[in-house]
Structure 1
Amino acid sequence: MGDGVLGDVLTHVSEIQGIGAVPRILETVAAMTGLRFVAIAHVTDASWTACAVHDRLDFGLCPGDTLDVDTTLCSEVHATRQPVIIDSVRHSERYREHYTPRIYGFQSYFSIPIFRPDGFYFGTLCGLDPEAARLTDGPTVSALTLFAELISNQLESERSLRAARTALFTERETAELREQFIAVLGHDLRTPLGAILSGSEILARRVEDPGARQLVERIRRSARRMAGLVDDVVDFTRGRMGAGIALDLHERDDIGIVLEQVVDELRGVYPGRQLDTAIDSRLALRCDPQRLSQLLSNLLKNALVHGSPQRPITVTGAVDGPSFILRVTNEGPDLSPAMIGQLFKPYWRASSRAGSEGLGLGLYIVDQIAAGHGGAIRVTSAEGRTSFTFSMPVG
């Protein structure tokens, strides 16, 4: 038997062995018919292989064992696609002189074909016994046919389940490779971006021509934006690949000042926008100041892009009881509950929200930073005001 054929046979045996109901089916068939040997066999024109066996005769066959198919009546079932059922060999004109009953020493016998739903011939549900048994009555034949169909349906269910599991594994493996590639790419991009940023800083100090200075400043802004995108991608892959976004938690008593600096930086980037703050300057927290700055920056950029340009954006930050509360509020169209439910998913951007920039990772990273601090982010949107509220425990 060639390696390919052997592999197919082992696959068919494992398919039947993988169906948890098979032992109970064989026990039921044996009890119903009175036959002491019942099996499910995979049958081709060249082979007969036991896939599952219920043996009270010590017949000696185990799953995976084979018989010469030409010595079995299952070869006849394979050729005709019709069942063979014998109550008593000695009283059967057709089989009393047949060599198969003499070889295996049986008087009663049945072999019912098993087909897959697509019509593929799998094999047979078969049984035998040295004693005669009443098998050809209508209810028994119907029951045996029903059991063969049940096995067929179970085979198809197991095959579909395996295909689904394989597809899921392949999808997960592909996703992991994709995210590893993105992480490596992001890491490798940081070196040339760092060189561009350093060069633009030096040029900004040395160039005196106003037109050239504007060009240098444009290069610097673009490089900073690219660096931000790379940071977002690296943070995303860390979060998705199980390590989580890295945090450096320690006690700081100047968090209010740190957060005010974030707002001041964005005031410089968006000079035409009004940013109002009410941040407690005495804030002392155990946190990662850099990540909290990133969280606030992402929330503010979201508000600046999607809020009404003519209306102010407010930022409040203070300790309220056992929690630190940081809230960013902008005015503009209300967000629907469905949209709010999608906001923190990676790469998600509402097509209806014009002016979106970036990769759609900013709010996903906000959610990851909040979780890393043992906190949460909540969104409310009503009556033309949308608020993103970050809360984390203190103490």
Structure 2
Amino acid sequence: MRAGIVFLVAGYVLSQFYRAFLAVLAPVLGPEIGASAGDLALSSGIWFLVFAVMQIPVGIALDRIGPRTTAALLLGLGGAGGAAVFAAAQGPLAIHLAMALIGIGCSPVLMASYYIFARVYSPLMFGTLAGAMIGIGSLGNIAGAAPLAALVEAIGWRAALAGLAVTTLAVALAIGAFVRDPERIAAGPGAAGSLGDLLRLPGLWTILPLMTVAYAPAAAIRGLWAGPYLSDLFGADPAAIGRSTLLMALAMVAGSFIYGPLDRLFGSRKWVAFWGNALAALCLAALMLFPASGFWTATLLLAGLGLFGSSFPVIMAHGRGFFPPHMVGRGVTFLNMFGIGGAGCLQFASGAVHRHLGLGADPVAAPYAALFAFFLAPLLIGLALYVLSTDTPARG
């Protein structure tokens, strides 16, 4: 099982890379294949939405087939295949297709790990393990910043994507060889765990709004808008963008590790998630009010957003506390569907917000102020509803 977890982590490194790498590629994809910032917003949104839609069949497959086959098959066919399509792309439509395939491929990797954590380890350790998985996997987020910029400069973006296709296929084969499925829970009366059964768990309804909007700001800005923002307002070149997004990526890694054990430290999952996201909202508000305050000020605020916005593990642990054992696979993927789906929907809309709602005295800064406001508003609504949620115990 340990070797299997190692390769699932490697798969999640790739998943994090694929959701974040467009920000660095944006400056070269525009001149070479005519992919604008709006096109890439659509491509990134497609990745998130396809990933989200896949969570329902992935959850069923985890419970019925097991994590080994589910993760290996989808990552090999979708992830490696999508990277190969991207490497050969001649226009924005091919990028859209590639990101859809990559979204399918990445969709089971984290949830396969969470399924194993929930079935094999103590429930009290779920938040810590979930945070560690995201923290280590976020090395892919880092690789999608300055290291990718350097690689693209050295060998070109097509060769880089071709190499990623081969790497993704190798990781998928290793998952198939080394992951071991937990012992199945025999199906019985009342043990099917349908979607209707999930929807009848009342504790989830006040968690879902924050799950839907908490991940979106850091994911969308790091993965897509950081590059154009830093370039348009501060004239940052790809190397400077790579350094800034690297710092944000490192902050997201640190946030995942920090959030993981905080529920046991404070004895609460709800309030750890609430106050962390409140601080993320403050960073967004500062970016909204002062979008042109300077390159390093912007970089520090982006890093703060990445740090405090990495609350996914503790919100997932909060929701996990409501699931019985026979519904773990469908339960965690159901939550993940909202987290990733919310990010996808907001990414889709963000392109139009940037184009049409940025009205102000500064024609360069105003579109980004509108963009930050667009991500801030739903986060504040999610926090307001989350106050009504029921905490789940984090101490034995």
**TM-score of the superposition, structure 1-length normalised?**
0.25
**Structure number having the greater strand percentage:** 1
TM-score, normalization: structure 2? Answer: 0.25
Which structure has the higher relative contact order (CA within 8 Å, separation 6+)? 2
Q: Which protein is bigger by CA-based radius of gyration?
A: 1
